């Protein structure tokens, strides 16, 4: 791919970014509702928004939305309860503090509110204009934020829509505050008006985050094997210099090229470009969120600091990989996305977990992470899954299905997720590592996880949907198993891998697999005694509180640990240890015992119940990954070749 970098600035930057590239892929007709070319003027059926910021310093904006062609049926206006890339419920309607409705003549209408997130409007003349005010001061990938420096809009968190009109085209005009120098960054389709954009349907609109600020803009061009080119744009609201943004863009380009090399091509970005919407300021909320032709990434990192600039690449790498994996290679249970409820999926272990694996792997291939002393980012992943007690409870698939309760979901009751749940990001990354190394082992390096991802891309991701925002061929869990068998020509291997490590709760032999690349997986402290994940805090009245709760946040004792088997639990008080008063010192002495040694504890449980129990220490199972040379062995030629094939750059 030939590099064609461009640095845009000043007025030219604003015009170039707002106008965008021509639509390389005109919208195709939807079978149920024709969708016009998004760059064309609004039609009578278009849902039209006008967004203003009367008092941005007070963190609210006003949205006017006009729905036409309603006939005689009541308008059912909704706020979303979930957002693409998030799988739990988030009640966005709670932030609306003013709602008014009018007919085409401007006559006020009286709405009813059948649910907390819906407004019904009857008695109209076929047109309803809704005007609402909404508060937002969290500029992450889920919510939205408005202040005097910018507006960072996640569309489901800020824009109302109507039931039954989901296939209609959308037109939105942004009106920045008077006197501001705000520009508009978005994956929405541009029009001849630099402040007006369109979307062919609700799905695409809801997946189109928008940044309004005096951001800096850089771009570079990537080229596919078929000759088509796409602009990759870096729009950064930041506190660094132009030179800092140049440096960040150069780093982003290296990561982007490595990602394209995995799949052999870039997606056909419908607007002709892909935009990184970056927010790096002292008041930013940390997050990253994938979208079809863009990503929102925010952090309090400063790109003026070279080390922090490199830290930002982790999220950037992860989110850009999603342009293939989940935005286009998409699970059937997420297509189309349901904005009215939590979204449950079988396959976040692949959609998020494999993305997590590649996000780190591609930083190594791009030269940003050193390959030495085990410094390749996989040790923690291996340890978390091999030794995580959640694996005794849920498989990778079941962890994925639990996302509705864990993906930034809000609750006030205590949960035991600390011992029963492993993030599908981590679990999936461990599965990806296992599959990559297993494929290389079984095929003598002829087949890799890159080949599997390319097969999924060609089969499920690349086929174009009926209209932008829709996926033509989403996959099922069974499809993933079948395609692994197709790739390897070994159904027994595919079935065993899925039965044991994806739908089952076993783990591969990472020690054997990692040794192929010259990395040793071994216990960190095999001679040390271990009782489990037990932290204690001394009480003024005497004794030690076990894993003291912090409000509703608790740390349950993990299943299978000596502490669990001995009946210890969070909130219990250790009164004595081996007949001595329980203190930090006597607890430390117990923790220094050897595997097989025992200790006798007196516990005070809720209600004052006193119990005596014996705990038998086990070897500490915590694993560490180190280079074979650090373990005292030479790196063989075969290991060098394996390592280069796995971790070396693939950019030609």
pLDDT digits (tens, 9 = 90+) for 334-347: 999 999 999 999 99
Cα 75 to Cα 121: distance, rounded to the nearest angstrom: 5
Cβ neighbours of 462 (radius 10 Å): 18
Cα dihedral 163, 166, 167, 172, rounded to 10, equals 120
Strand 229-238 to 273-280 pairing = parallel
Strand 118-121 to 75-78 pairing = antiparallel
Cα dihedral 159, 165, 166, 167, rounded to 10, equals -130
Average pLDDT in the chain: 92
Two tokens, residue 435: 């599959």
What's the rounded mean pLDDT across residues 349-357? 98
180 pLDDT higher than 70: yes
CA 57 centroid distance within chain? 29
Side-chain-side CA neighbours of residue 551 (13 Å): 3
- DSSP β-bridge partners for residue 76: 120
- Cβ proximity of 183 and 18 under 8 Å: yes
Two tokens, residue 610: 């006193």
Cα 504 to Cα 397: distance, rounded to the nearest angstrom: 9
Cα 533 to Cα 389: distance, rounded to the nearest angstrom: 11
What's the rounded mean pLDDT across residues 80-93? 96
Bond prior to 336 in cis (omega within 30° of 0): yes
Domain boundaries, the chain: 6-237+269-278, 338-514, 529-619
Confidence of residue 591 (pLDDT cuts 50, 70, 90): confident
Query: Considering only 259-268, 376-385, 398-407, 555-564, which range has the smallest mean pLDDT?
Result: 376-385
> Top-level CATH class of 6-237+269-278?
mainly beta
| Residue from 121, 110, 130, 129 nearest 72 by CA | 121
19 pLDDT higher than 90: no
DSSP 8-state secondary structure symbol assigned to residue 460: I
Q: What count of residues does the chain have?
A: 652
Q: For tokens 């993030």, name the residue.
A: 423
pLDDT of residue 41: 57
Query: Considering only 6-20, 136-150, 255-269, 579-593, which range has the smallest mean pLDDT?
Result: 6-20
CATH level 2 (architecture), domain 338-514: Orthogonal Bundle (1.10)
Residue 518's SS3 state is coil
Cα 542 to Cα 532: distance, rounded to the nearest angstrom: 23
* Sign of the four-CA dihedral 620, 621, 624, 628: positive
DSSP 8-state secondary structure symbol assigned to residue 65: E
- Compute the C-alpha angle 280/364/361, nearest 5°: 90
Q: For tokens 């407004």, name the residue.
A: 119
Two tokens, residue 358: 């590649």
Phi, psi (degrees; rounded to nearest 5) at 283: -105, 15
Query: Considering only 13-27, 103-117, 343-357, 548-562, which range has the smallest mean pLDDT?
Result: 13-27
Two tokens, residue 96: 């609306």
Cα dihedral 260, 262, 263, 266, rounded to 10, equals -10
Side-chain-side CA neighbours of residue 552 (13 Å): 7
- Give start and end residues of each alpha helix (H) in 303-413: 306-321, 348, 355-365, 379-386, 396-401, 403-406
CATH of domain 529-619: 2.30.42.10
DSSP 8-state secondary structure symbol assigned to residue 334: G
Tens digit of each residue's pLDDT (9 = 90 or more) over 39-59: 445 676 999 999 999 999 999
């Amino acid at each position: 791919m030939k590099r064609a970098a461009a640095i845009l600035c000043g007025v030219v930057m604003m015009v170039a970014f707002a106008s965008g590239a021509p639509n390389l892929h005109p919208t195709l007709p939807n079978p149920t509702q024709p969708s016009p070319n998004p760059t064309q003027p609004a039609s009578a059926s278009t849902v039209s928004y006008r967004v203003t910021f009367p008092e941005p310093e007070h963190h609210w904006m006003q949205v006017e939305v006009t729905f036409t062609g309603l006939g005689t049926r009541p308008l059912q206006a909704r706020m979303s309860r979930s957002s693409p890339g998030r799988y739990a419920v988030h009640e966005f309607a709670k932030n609306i503090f003013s709602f008014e409705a009018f007919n085409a003549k401007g006559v006020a209408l009286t709405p009813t509110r059948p649910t907390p997130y819906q407004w019904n409007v009857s008695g109209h003349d076929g047109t309803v204009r809704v005007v609402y005010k909404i508060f937002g001061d969290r500029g992450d990938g889920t919510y939205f934020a408005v202040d005097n420096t910018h507006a960072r809009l996640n569309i489901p968190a800020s824009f109302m829509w109507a039931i039954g009109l989901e296939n209609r085209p959308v037109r939105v005009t942004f009106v920045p505050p008077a006197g501001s120098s705000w520009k508009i960054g978005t994956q929405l389709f541009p029009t001849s008006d630099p402040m007006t954009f369109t979307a062919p349907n609700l799905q695409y609109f809801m997946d189109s985050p928008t940044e309004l600020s005096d951001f800096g803009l850089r771009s570079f061009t990537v080229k596919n094997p078929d000759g088509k080119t796409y602009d990759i744009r870096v729009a950064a609201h930041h506190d660094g210099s132009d030179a800092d943004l140049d440096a960040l863009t150069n780093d982003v380009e290296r990561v982007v090229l490595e990602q394209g090399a995995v799949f052999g091509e870039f997606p056909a970005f419908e607007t002709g470009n892909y935009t990184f919407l970056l927010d790096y300021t002292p008041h930013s909320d940390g997050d990253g969120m994938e979208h079809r032709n863009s990503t929102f990434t925010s952090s309090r990192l400063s790109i003026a600091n070279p080390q922090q600039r490199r830290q930002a690449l982790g999220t950037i790498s992860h989110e850009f990989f999603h342009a293939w994996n989940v935005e286009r290679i998409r699970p059937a249970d997420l297509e189309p996305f349901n904005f009215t409820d939590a979204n449950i999926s079988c396959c976040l272990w692949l959609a998020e977990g494999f993305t997590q694996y590649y996000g780190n792997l591609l930083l190594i291939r791009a030269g940003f992470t050193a390959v030495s002393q085990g410094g390749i980012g996989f040790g923690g992943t291996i340890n978390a899954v091999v030794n995580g007690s959640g694996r005794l409870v849920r498989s990778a698939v079941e962890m994925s299905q639990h996302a509705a309760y864990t993906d930034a979901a809000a609750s006030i009751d205590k949960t035991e997720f600390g011992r029963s749940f492993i993030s599908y990001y981590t679990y999936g990354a461990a599965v990806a590592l296992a599959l990559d190394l297993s494929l290389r082992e079984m095929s003598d390096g002829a087949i890799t996880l890159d080949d599997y991802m390319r097969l999924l891309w060609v089969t499920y991701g690349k086929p174009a949907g009926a209209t932008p925002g829709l996926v033509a061929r989403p996959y099922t869990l069974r499809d993933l198993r079948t395609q692994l068998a197709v790739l390897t020509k070994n159904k027994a291997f595919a079935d065993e891998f899925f039965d044991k490590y994806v739908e089952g709760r076993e783990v591969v032999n990472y020690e054997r697999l990692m040794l192929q690349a010259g990395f040793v997986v071994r216990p960190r402290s095999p001679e040390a005694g271990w009782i489990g994940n037990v932290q204690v805090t001394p009480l003024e009245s005497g004794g030690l509180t076990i894993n003291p709760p912090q409000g509703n946040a608790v740390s349950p004792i993990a299943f299978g640990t000596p502490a669990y088997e001995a009946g210890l639990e969070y909130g219990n008080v250790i009164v004595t240890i081996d007949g001595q008063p329980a203190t930090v010192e006597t607890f430390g002495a117990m923790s220094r015992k050897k595997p097989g040694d025992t200790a006798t504890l007196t516990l005070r449980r809720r209600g004052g119940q006193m119990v005596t129990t014996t705990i038998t220490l086990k070897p500490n199972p915590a694993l560490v990954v180190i280079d074979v040379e650090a373990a005292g062995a030479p790196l063989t030629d075969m290991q060098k070749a394996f390592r280069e094939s796995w971790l070396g750059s693939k950019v030609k």
